[in-house]
Amino acid sequence: MDRNLLIAFVISFFVLFLWGRLQEQQYPNSSPSIASEGINTDGKTESDQPKNVSDAAPAPAPAVASREEIASVAREKKSQEAASVSVTETAPITEPAEQIIEIKNELYRAEFSSHGAALRHFELLQYRDEVNADSNPVVLTWFDRKQAAALTTSFEELGLGDLSHAAYTVAQPSPNILVFERNQAGLILRKTYTFSENAYNFALRMEVLNGSNRSIQPIFAVAWPGRVAAKKSIDEQQSLVAYHQKKFEHQLMAVFGKPGFLAKLISVGNDKDKTQVFDGDIEWIGLANRYFVSAILPDEPAKTQAKFLPVESGVEAIAILQYQPIEILPGSAKQRDLKIYMGPKEANRLEALGRNFERVAVTGYSWVSPLTSFFTWFLMLIHKVVPNYGLAIIVVTILVRAAAYPIVSQQMKSMKRMAEVQPKMKALQDKYKDDRQALSQAMMRLYKEEGVNPLGGCLPALLQFPVFIGLFFALQSSIELRHAPFWGWINDLSSPELLFQIPVVNFPFRLLPVLMGASMFLQQRITPMTTMDPMQRKMMTTFMPFMLLAVSYTFPSGLVLYWITSNLLGIGQQFITNRQMPTASKEVKK
């Protein structure tokens, strides 16, 4: 056994990672309205009064309508009936002009519209699109705000048509409270937003007051549209995300709704067939990219349903959260409470919201996630002492290599010893080439006589593999590295560095991946290849470094910096081991 198994793991991992990056595409700019998409109203009737979202700031609106409110609505309804004009026969109502209300604090600036009582625009004031401090703030409403909006509520099940963009009256009793209200056909629809000063989350209370003479069953559905980013950077790629029945669900929007390879071959599949539905136990749902997330957290997850609905395959989709229908008798009212989070994937903020919301940060598979969290914490701890994230990455790499030194040293010595006994192994293979059982017995005797463990070079390497993966995700997912400078031309550790643009071909030249490839080439050249023929050795020492150079060419510079540092430390350790091996060999033979 030698490094083949480890190399196979590494190659497989980076091939899969490269494949994910190849999914980026060019996207058109049209943006269809979300109002035309239907919402399923299937479900059981539920009349229980829902509980508030934990930790959500309470809205000032009453839980049920006052007698005066319902009486006023009832009088309006009777007046309509006296004129013998039904709701469906009434001439179209001329909606008032749209009002835009701005909410601003130190963290964000938001714009809400009176049409639909919905969110049109949301930007983060502490984060910028580019490294340049003068660039535009990060915007988390990923749609054309002239045509679409977030947190729309259609209420089509009330028989009043699609109210996603209907006009509401506006009241703002305080700077942190925004109330929208619509009175139609004996019903009062009220949406109350409550904001906090130093938080990226805010509360939304939806109420329906029934002043009519009929029973109604609203489902309190909320829609959040999304559109793929114009930029081709992997950091900007949005995904539909949800946490359903203790499982993280996600769909990359750039490929969502598109038929798979086999479906294309047989010409089957369409957008509507790609709708994904999740019933019950919806902890949260929304949209996210690498560093930011916009999500809805319902007050009663068990009574919810979520949908990923494609609007235009690979271009636009909608995340929908809806409750089971709830019966509201004449003269009564019901409400639902939501918590909305729109902000960075900062671990402490995500964890504070509960509901396993920290899972929205990509930290690898479940078995890797604890390692990712540990190395993220460790990196932040080192940064408190070394106030440069590039230097902090180097220090973390050195400390990890130092901790793994005994294991790696044992691996290197075992591989060296295997190389020394290779001629004897070859002689046994020639001698017993026609008797596999005799060859196996002879090889075991040789291992015992020479004091060689055939697994000694493989198992230590496998023990290092989870550490490598944990560091990989920690460096890739840490928002603290976003736009964090290192030195010289490396001004953003979360993005590939650029030394210069090659003239004529206009191709970016990146120095770090080239240094990484060179260090990998040198490391392969000085590492014993115990069981490889000359052709295999040539592939390992030439093809593999070149392939990893190509794969890492679009990696964040922080990750490539870690890789270079680890390779250089490994080269130094290999030189030390090679010089110590004569002594080590004598000790083994004793």
**What's the pLDDT band for 530 if we cut at 50, 70, 90?**
low
Quick one: which H or E segment has residue 252? strand 247-252
For 37, other C-beta atoms within 10 Å of its C-beta total: 20
Same domain, 411 and 339: no
Q: Residue 145 domain-assigned? A: yes
CA distance 559 to 567: 12
Last residue of a domain, one of 293, 326, 360: 360
Same domain, 450 and 504: yes
Same domain, 293 and 327: yes
The one-letter amino acid code at 181 reads: E
The predicted structure's pLDDT at residue 116: 95
Q: What share of the chain is helix, strand, coil (3-state, %, to 5)?
A: 40, 25, 40
Q: Above 60 in pLDDT, residue 65?
A: no
Q: Above 70 in pLDDT, residue 112?
A: yes
Same domain, 343 and 378: no
Same domain, 428 and 323: no
User: To the nearest whole number, what is the mean pLDDT of the chain?
Assistant: 78
**What's the pLDDT band for 582 if we cut at 50, 70, 90?**
low
The predicted structure's pLDDT at residue 418: 72
CA distance 240 to 318: 8
Same domain, 284 and 173: yes
Which is it for the CA torsion 433, 436, 442, 448, positive or negative?
Answer: positive
pLDDT digits (tens, 9 = 90+) for 258-305: 665 444 444 444 444 578 999 989 999 999 998 999 999 999 999 999
Output the domain CATH number for residue 53. Answer: 2.70.98.90
Among candidate residues 233, 276, 206, 175, the one with its CA nearest the CA of residue 50: 206
Residue 290 near residue 235 (C-beta atoms within 8 A): yes
The one-letter amino acid code at 64 reads: V
β-pair partners for 100: 113
Same domain, 377 and 469: yes
Same domain, 431 and 551: yes
Q: Residue 365 domain-assigned? A: no
CA distances from 72 to 69, 75, 155, 186, 508 (A): 5, 5, 22, 9, 68
Q: Residue 465 domain-assigned? A: yes
Question: Could you give the number of structural domains in the chain?
Answer: 2
Q: Residue 353 domain-assigned? A: yes
Pick the range with the lowest mean pLDDT from 101-105, 460-464, 573-577. 460-464
Same domain, 506 and 562: yes
The predicted structure's pLDDT at residue 160: 93
Q: What three-state secondary structure class fits 293? A: strand
HEC readout, 167-229: ECEEEEEECCEEEEEEEECCEEEEEEEECCCCCCEEEEEEEEEECCCCCECCCCCEEEEEECC
> pTM higher than 0.85 for the full model?
no
Residue whose structure tokens are 């229980």: 48
**For residue 480, what is the DSSP state?**
G
Same domain, 191 and 317: yes
pLDDT digits (tens, 9 = 90+) for 294-353: 999 999 999 999 999 999 888 899 999 999 999 999 999 999 999 999 999 998 899 999
The predicted structure's pLDDT at residue 457: 53
Q: Residue 66 domain-assigned? A: yes
**What's the pLDDT band for 38 if we cut at 50, 70, 90?**
very low
Question: Could you list the residue range(s) of the whole structural domain that residue 105 is in?
Answer: 44-360
Q: What is the DSSP string of 225-250?
A: EEE--SS--GGG--EEEEEETTEEEE
Q: Residue 26 domain-assigned? A: no
Same domain, 217 and 330: yes
**What's the pLDDT band for 565 if we cut at 50, 70, 90?**
very high
Structure tokens at 90: 């009434």
Same domain, 325 and 419: no
Last residue of a domain, one of 325, 360, 395: 360
Q: Residue 553 domain-assigned? A: yes
CA angle (12, 14, 15) in 5-degree steps: 65
Among candidate residues 327, 33, 291, the one with its CA nearest the CA of residue 152: 33
Q: Above 60 in pLDDT, residue 81?
A: no
**Most confidently predicted of 60-74, 232-246, 390-404, 432-446:** 390-404
Last residue of a domain, one of 329, 360, 391: 360
CA distance 578 to 409: 10
The predicted structure's pLDDT at residue 10: 56
Determine the average pLDDT of the residues in 443-453. 75
Q: Above 70 in pLDDT, residue 54?
A: no
Q: Above 80 in pLDDT, residue 509?
A: yes
Residue 315 near residue 341 (C-beta atoms within 8 A): no
Question: Of residues 181 and 17, which shows the higher confidence score?
Answer: 181
The predicted structure's pLDDT at residue 551: 85
Q: Residue 244 domain-assigned? A: yes
